[in-house]
């Protein structure tokens, strides 16, 4: 009506709209695809299922173990054994978060909705990182508590009141999270699901076997930089490792190196994402 004041709706800054919308869109995509469910399920099965198998085995055979085996026994690490297999499912999900859109061509629709490509990548990192962190930490704590319950009365056990055990459990979840982000960065660089998964598996599982085959004077200085060796160090409380294992950095120092790997892969992927066509 004439004479009435019209109040214009308050508009949000365009950048804020893009960021919020990108986060919501990535969350919808992540929770609506079947690969997310199966990857999370595989992480839980690996983390808890293998924990049960390994801890039951140690509990049954403890009376037959020798002095060396008992000295090297680490109840925390034994409970977290499944995390080193769950890293595969977390990594594969990290790859699919990016590569699946390139494979199906839906990345064009995503970039049409949010033209600022760093915002798209950042939204994927935040949403996937949050999910990976929650799932990984939940599996790590569940595996620890279940494992210690199985070992109780048969072998020495650990509690979270021990700072080294708490560090190993929390560190195990952080390791899986950052490893998943590293895989997401690889997928951003390679843009092909099979190629990115092969590269991830080769760096994680095949490269340590190759390095271990070299003489110790050459293999040990290189092996400590490998993600799998860093993960093993983060999920154990023993300061002296098994002689068959590659030497490693201290847990948090190795974790910092792993974060650098993830940052580099995401940074390179972000630059290439801006420069290349969809």
Query: Residue 276 — very low, low, confident or very high, per pLDDT cuts 50/70/90?
Result: confident
Average pLDDT in the 68-82 region? 87
- Decide if 155 contacts 69 (C-beta within 8 A): no
Dmax (CA) for the chain in angstroms is 94
Residue predicted with more confidence, 51 or 12 = 51
Query: Residue 2 — very low, low, confident or very high, per pLDDT cuts 50/70/90?
Result: very low
Query: Residue 213 — very low, low, confident or very high, per pLDDT cuts 50/70/90?
Result: confident
Is residue 158 predicted with pLDDT exceeding 50?
yes
For 252-272, the pLDDT digits (tens) are 999 999 999 999 999 999 999
Is residue 44 predicted with pLDDT exceeding 70?
yes
**Residue extents of the structural domains in the chain:** 34-275
pLDDT of residue 84: 82
Q: Coil, strand or helix: which one is 241? A: coil
- Secondary structure (H, E, C), 10-56: CCCCHHHHHHHHHHHHHHHHHHHCHHHHHHHHHHHHHHHHHHHHHHH
pLDDT of residue 138: 97
- In Å, how far from its chain's centre is CA 13? 34
Q: Say how many CA atoms lie within 13 Å of 240 toward its Cβ.
A: 6
Query: Residue 239 — very low, low, confident or very high, per pLDDT cuts 50/70/90?
Result: low
State how far the Cα of 224 lies from the Cα of 211, in Å rounded to an integer: 10
Average pLDDT in the 196-216 region? 90
Average pLDDT in the 198-220 region? 87
pLDDT of residue 192: 92
pLDDT of residue 17: 52
Give pTM, 2 decimals: 0.88
Mean pLDDT, rounded, of the chain? 87
């Amino acid at each position: 009506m004439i004479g009435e004041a019209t109040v214009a709706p308050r508009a949000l800054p365009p950048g804020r709209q893009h960021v919020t919308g990108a986060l919501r869109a990535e969350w919808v995509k992540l929770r609506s695809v079947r690969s997310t469910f199966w990857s999370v399920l595989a992480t839980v099965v690996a983390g808890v299922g293998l924990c049960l198998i390994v801890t039951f085995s140690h509990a049954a055979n403890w009376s037959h173990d020798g002095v060396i085996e008992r000295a090297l026994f680490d109840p925390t690490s034994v409970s977290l054994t499944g995390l080193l297999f769950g890293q595969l499912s977390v990594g594969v999900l990290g790859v699919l978060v990016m590569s699946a859109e390139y494979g199906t061509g839906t990345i064009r629709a995503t970039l049409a909705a949010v033209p600022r490509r760093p915002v798209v990548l950042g939204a994927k990192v935040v949403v996937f990182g949050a999910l990976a962190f929650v799932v990984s930490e939940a599996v790590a704590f569940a595996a620890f508590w279940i494992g210690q319950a199985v070992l109780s009365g048969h072998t020495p056990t650990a509690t979270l009141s021990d700072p080294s055990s708490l560090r190993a459990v929390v560190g195990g979840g952080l390791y899986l999270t950052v490893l998943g982000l590293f895989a997401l960065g690889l997928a951003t660089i390679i843009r092909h699901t099979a190629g990115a998964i092969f590269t991830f598996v080769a760096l994680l599982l095949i490269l340590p076997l190759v390095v271990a085959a070299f003489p110790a004077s050459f293999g040990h200085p290189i092996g400590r930089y490998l993600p799998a060796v860093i993960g093993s160090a983060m999920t154990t409380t023993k300061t002296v490792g098994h002689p068959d294992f590659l030497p490693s950095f201290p847990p948090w120092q190795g974790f910092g190196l792993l974060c650098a790997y993830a940052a580099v892969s995401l940074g390179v992927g972000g630059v290439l994402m801006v420069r290349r066509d969809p």
